[in-house]
Structure 1
Amino acid sequence: MGFFTGFASGFALTTTVLYLTVQVHRYNRLEQRNAIRDQTRALTWLASSTGAYDRRLIPSETEKLQELSPKRTQPTLSDLLKHRWNTEVETLANKAYEASWEDVRDMAVEGWSSAMRLVKNE
């Protein structure tokens, strides 16, 4: 394995691990936020004085359950990763479609020739 191949594969592996680590951390923080929000809502309901003096004002069991268990609006980790993947693939496809391949070819030839000059001089 050459230097450039090893460098590129190491870079790809490192960035992939870092990207996945950041996404898992973000997902865990969102889950923690939702759990703290649910716990705060439950404690607020338990500590509220509504119904403490007049039992007619106390919420019914169905209202209490609906209040304590809100609908999940947060997507799962796999959905987040799929969405990120799709947006990045779409961005890369648009860049590839809009790229001027003649300029890319000229830059590659220029880079190759400068690398060969550097290698031959040393």
Structure 2
Amino acid sequence: MGFSTGFASGFALTTTVLYLTVQVHRYNRLEQRNAIRDQTRALTWLASSTGAYDRRLIPSETEKLQELPPKRTQPTLSELLKHRWNTEVKTLANKAYEASWEDVRDMAVEGWSSAVRLVKNE
């Protein structure tokens, strides 16, 4: 394995591991946020003064459900990663579709010729 192949594969492996680590951390933070919200909502309901002195004022189950915002279901980690992957692929496909390949070819030829000139001068 050559230097460039080893370097590229090491870079790809390292960036993949870092990317997945960041995504797992983000997913865990979202789960923690939702758990804390649910616990706060439960504690707020328990500590509310409504019905503390007169039990007839305690809201019924249907009123409690209407009062609390509906629980949102969070997407799973795999769904988040799939969505992120699809947006990246879509972005790259749009860039490839909108690219002017003649300009890319001209830039590559220009870069190659300047590299050859640099090597021949030394």
Tell me if both proteins adopt one fold, taking TM over 0.5 as the criterion: yes
The CA deviation at 1:66 is 6.8
Name the stretch that deviates more: 105-114 or 5-14: 105-114
Q: Please list the CA deviations of residues 8-49 of structure 1 after superposition, one character each: whole Å capped at 9, or x if unmatched.
A: 111111111111111111111111111001101111111111
Q: Please, what is the CA RMSD of the aligned residues?
A: 2.6
Normalising by the residue count of structure 1, what TM-score does the alignment of the two structures yield? 0.81
Q: Please list the CA deviations of residues 56-99 of structure 1 after superposition, one character each: whole Å capped at 9, or x if unmatched.
A: 21022354467679422432222211111111101000110111
Whole-Å separation in 1 of the counterparts to 2:103 and 2:26? 39
**Contact preservation (8 Å) 1:38, 1:69:** no
Name the stretch that deviates more: 73-82 or 7-16: 73-82
Whole-Å separation in 2 of the counterparts to 1:15 and 1:109? 30
The CA deviation at 1:106 is 2.9
Name the stretch that deviates more: 51-60 or 103-112: 103-112
Aligned to 1:91: 91
Whole-Å separation in 1 of the counterparts to 2:76 and 2:67? 22
Are residues 20 and 74 of structure 1, via their aligned partners in 2, closer, same or farther at CA, if it must alter by over 3 Å? same
Name the stretch that deviates more: 31-40 or 76-85: 76-85
Task: Give identity over the alignment, percent.
Answer: 96
Whole-Å separation in 1 of the counterparts to 2:67 and 2:14? 44
Whole-Å separation in 2 of the counterparts to 1:13 and 1:117? 35
Whole-Å separation in 2 of the counterparts to 1:113 and 1:89? 32
Normalising by the residue count of structure 2, what TM-score does the alignment of the two structures yield? 0.81
State how many pairs are aligned.
Answer: 122
In structure 1, list runs of 5 or more residues that go unmatched.
none
